[in-house]
Structures are given as C-alpha cells and as structure tokens.
Amino acid sequence: MCIQEYPKFKRNKDILLPHDLNAEEVVLNYLLMNKKSLIINNLHPHEFYNETNKILFEVMLELYNQEQSINQVTIANKLFDQNITIKRDYIKSLMDEKYIKAHAYPIDDYINVIKKTSDVRRLIKNSDEGDDIDSKLLVEVLNESIKYKLNKFHYLAH
C-alpha cells in the first residue's frame, strides 16, 4: 500500500479556521438554562473560537467555581467588575428559543464539536509554527469526522 505524500500546507491567514458558533451558543444557552450544570467542567475557555463566547464562558466558569448562580444579572455584574463590555442584547439572544430546541440533541454532542474544532485549530496553528504536521491532510480527515454533526446542528438551529 502506497501512502500519497501531500506537500506541506501553508495556511492562508485570511481563511477562517474551523469552528461552529452555533454549537458554542447552544452550550452557553444550556449553561444559562441549567444554572449549576456539571458540563461546565467538560470545556475550557480556549476551546471557544468566538472571543465573546470565550469571555462569557470564562465568566460562567468563574461564577460556577464561586458557587454563584449563572444568569444574565450575575454575568453582567461580573463583566462590569472586570471592566469588560459585551452587548447586553447578545447575552439576551442566547436565551432564544432556537437554542432550547437544539437541546433535543445531547449537549455532549455540541461539546464534542467545540472540542474537535478547537483541536483542528490547534493542530493547524502548530503546523504554522513549524511543527512537523501535514495540516492539509489533517484538516481533510478531521473535517470528515465532524461534518455530519455540524450539519445536524445547523439543521436544527435554523
């Protein structure tokens, strides 16, 4: 069996890295609806692609670790204390019914999509930094492994 060698892939910096904003928003909605959810321990802030979502998750994690309620008011207060500005409408939009409908699928599926897309971004970044990784091949393989989940989530949310 011959394995074809792919040339090293130099990523165009203008191309978006793999991510799923819908999965991130569904998880944040889940945390807002399930105030003391243990799923919060299954994620790390760096796994979020969207900077606003990352900040919101960090605040939720901090509230959770301090055994405080996770809701719009406590999040807004914590953001104010840290001098961080996020549109209040954005936090409110996370309570939208479309995210609640997405809970028909197990929340762990959404978490896995966030983790897998984060892993792909990390591997691409490592390749960009000179690590010996063939990122083109890696992206092809990993995108296939998560494509069906991404399609399933987008169908449900729209």
- End-to-end, the C-alpha distance of the chain in Å comes to 44
pLDDT in tens, the chain (158 residues): 344 443 444 555 556 777 888 899 999 998 888 866 777 778 999 999 999 999 999 999 999 889 898 888 999 999 999 999 888 788 888 888 887 777 777 888 889 889 888 888 887 777 666 655 555 556 665 665 666 556 555 555 55
Domain ranges of the chain: 21-157
Classify 10 as helix, strand or coil.
coil
Q: Give CA–CA dist 146/36, Å, rounded.
A: 28
Residue 62: which H helix or E strand, with range? helix 51-65
CA gap 20, 83 in Å, rounded: 27
CATH homologous superfamily of 21-157? DNAb Helicase; Chain A (1.10.860.10)
Nearest to 91 by CA among 105, 101, 76: 76
pTM of the model: 0.73
